[in-house]
């Protein structure tokens, strides 16, 4: 069966995996691993791609990414090609390093984000590289120790590292790698100490689950928990939509396919980039771009965010996730801003055509 084209669109959560050719090692020592992670961190920051989880195993790696405007194929191409060139030169070898292309599975966020982060970070334990959770807590080659604050996060650019971190979350401007971890910790608590404790307990409870086949790929069966019995006896018209490239409900499958290109009419509404839209609105309201993407709650700045959200989502076809990453807001808050923006635009009628 021919391989289907990968699905990609800004804001989609993707579980990415790549394996060494003939299952050979792609990481021979700590120098290899360090170079891979430093390269990954630089590329993610430049591409504004979030990484929620990562784990390096001698012959493969796992990443849980959410892409921005840069396509996943470009992110992975830069990462894998550059790493392979350096690896081959360092170990005096030639030829392909990776087995075929990388594999990526689009994942529905609400049921799978936390489960996948736990699953990926437990990979070194399942692979027998470590004896227990205590070892994983300080293991430098997965994101688990970085979330706990027990290891420096190698995905944080050097210029952003070394700063004192407050106990309350979201109190200062962060690099994307820092912000991703702090946003994730908010699922577990309002302070780092409490959130890390609850996250650690969450991971501990996952150890006994062993290999989760329902999290290892896409398709209707895996989305139903990896068991065919959930589909038996149902009429074809009662079954949800399924796709091997997607892990999620039928509704999410349809939405992911639309966002990845099936709904081209909506995407044709986009006239300018989000950064350009923010610049235009900032100029019109006599504000600085930095003020709009700050945490300020001044009325004029809030109005600017509302206008940008409304134009970007309702008129231009951007997703709430895309707009949220540009403005430093959650998807929920972008939705609220977009609703409010309909009214605010009444005071700035000349902005309605600004995206053209």
Query: What is residue 245's predicted lDDT score, i.e. its pLDDT?
Result: 84
234 vs 207, which has greater pLDDT?
Answer: 207
Instruction: Say if 288 falls within a structural domain.
Output: yes
Query: What is residue 110's predicted lDDT score, i.e. its pLDDT?
Result: 84
User: In the chain, what percentage of residues exceed pLDDT 70?
Assistant: 83
Last residue of a domain, one of 179, 213, 247: 213
CATH at 342: 1.10.1750.10
**Do 135 and 273 share a domain, yes or no?**
no
Last residue of a domain, one of 213, 228, 245: 213
Contact 218, 243 (CB under 8 A): yes
Query: What is residue 231's predicted lDDT score, i.e. its pLDDT?
Result: 44
Domain encompassing residue 58: 13-213
Query: What is residue 356's predicted lDDT score, i.e. its pLDDT?
Result: 61
pTM: 0.67
Query: What is residue 213's predicted lDDT score, i.e. its pLDDT?
Result: 66
Instruction: Say if 239 falls within a structural domain.
Output: no
**Do 183 and 279 share a domain, yes or no?**
no
Band of pLDDT at residue 199, cut at 50, 70 and 90: very high
What is the number of structural domains in the chain? 2
Max alpha carbon distance in the chain (Å)? 66
């Amino acid at each position: 069966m021919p391989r289907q084209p990968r699905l990609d669109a800004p804001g989609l959560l993707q579980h990415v995996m790549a394996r060494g050719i003939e299952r050979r090692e792609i990481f021979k020592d700590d120098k290899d691993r360090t170079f891979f992670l430093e390269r990954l961190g630089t590329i993610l920051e430049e591409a504004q791609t979030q990484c929620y989880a990562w784990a390096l195993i001698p012959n493969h790696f796992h990443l849980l990414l959410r892409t921005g405007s840069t396509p996943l194929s470009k992110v992975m191409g830069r990462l894998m090609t550059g790493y392979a060139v350096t690896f081959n030169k360092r170990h005096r070898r030639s030829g392909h390093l990776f087995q075929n292309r990388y594999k990526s599975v689009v994942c529905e966020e609400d049921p799978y984000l936390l489960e996948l982060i736990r699953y990926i970070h437990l990979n070194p334990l399942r692979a027998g590289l470590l004896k227990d959770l205590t070892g994983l807590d300080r293991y430098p080659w997965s994101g688990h120790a970085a979330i706990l604050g027990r290891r420096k996060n190698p995905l944080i650019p050097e210029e952003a590292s070394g700063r004192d971190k407050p106990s309350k979350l979201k109190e200062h401007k962060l690099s994307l790698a820092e912000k991703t971890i702090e946003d994730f910790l908010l699922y577990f608590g309002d302070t780092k100490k409490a959130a890390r404790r609850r996250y650690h307990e969450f991971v501990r409870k996952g150890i006994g689950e062993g290999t989760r086949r329902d999290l290892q790929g896409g398709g209707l069966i895996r989305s139903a928990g990896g068991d065919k019995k959930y589909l038996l006896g149902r009429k074809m018209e009662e079954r949800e939509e399924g796709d091997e490239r997607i892990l999620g409900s039928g509704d999410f499958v349809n939405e992911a396919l639309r966002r990845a290109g099936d709904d081209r009419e909506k995407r044709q509404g986009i006239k300018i980039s989000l950064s350009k839209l923010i610049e235009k609105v900032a100029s019109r309201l006599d504000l600085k771009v930095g003020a709009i993407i700050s945490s300020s709650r001044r009325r004029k700045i809030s109005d600017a965010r509302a206008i940008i959200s409304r134009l970007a989502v309702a008129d231009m076809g951007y997703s709430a996730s895309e707009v949220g990453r540009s403005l430093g807001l959650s998807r929920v808050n972008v939705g609220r801003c977009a609703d409010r923006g309909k009214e605010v635009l009444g005071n700035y009628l000349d902005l309605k055509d600004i995206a053209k």
